[in-house]
Amino acid sequence: YLMIDFKSEAESTYAALRNLLSDYREMLTEYGSKGMQHRSVTVVISGNRPTETLAREKLRYAFVDGRLSDMDKNEHPVSLIPWISESWRSHFNWNGRGELTSTEKVKLNQWIKKAHTQGRKVRFWATPETVNFWKTAYEAKLDFINTDKLKRLQQGLSDLQKNP
């Protein structure tokens, strides 16, 4: 996946990106008249997302980083919104130390289950940077783990696989 985080105005930024993406169509996942054609790189737009513009396109090489509200409404197909992303800190109080409360664990598992039932993946940003969080995310079957601590994550996940 290649996530592109739009910080500028969605429509004009996407128009510029669309022109560039067509030059790389041989390697990019596309959605068109034949449905999804998976290739090496799937471009997902985050931030200021031109969701309705992409939804109207007959052929496109980009997809939308969804929000919880997109999953709840379920108005757009997985072929447009393949995953749901939210800020961890906006929805959970747990800081990765000690145990995740049972209430928050239920909420996390329900969100992941709902997304997976719809065929979507789940990602959180602003997550705790602890081995304990990564273990919890792994056990909950969270699809993507965001981190700035790549070496620690690698070691933590490697340890988990050795000692589940």
Taking the whole predicted model, whether its pTM rises above 0.85 is answered as yes
Q: Could you give the CA distance from residue 27 to residue 8 in angstroms, rounded to a whole number?
A: 26
pLDDT digits (tens, 9 = 90+) for 97-113: 999 999 999 999 999 99
Spell out the domain ranges in the chain: 1-81, 89-164
Using DSSP bridges, classify how beta strands 35-37 and 30-32 pair: parallel, antiparallel or unpaired: antiparallel
Task: Give the number of other CB atoms < 10 A from CB of residue 51.
Answer: 18
Residue 65 CA neighbour count, 13 Å, CB half: 21
pLDDT digits (tens, 9 = 90+) for 53-83: 999 999 999 999 999 999 999 999 999 999 9
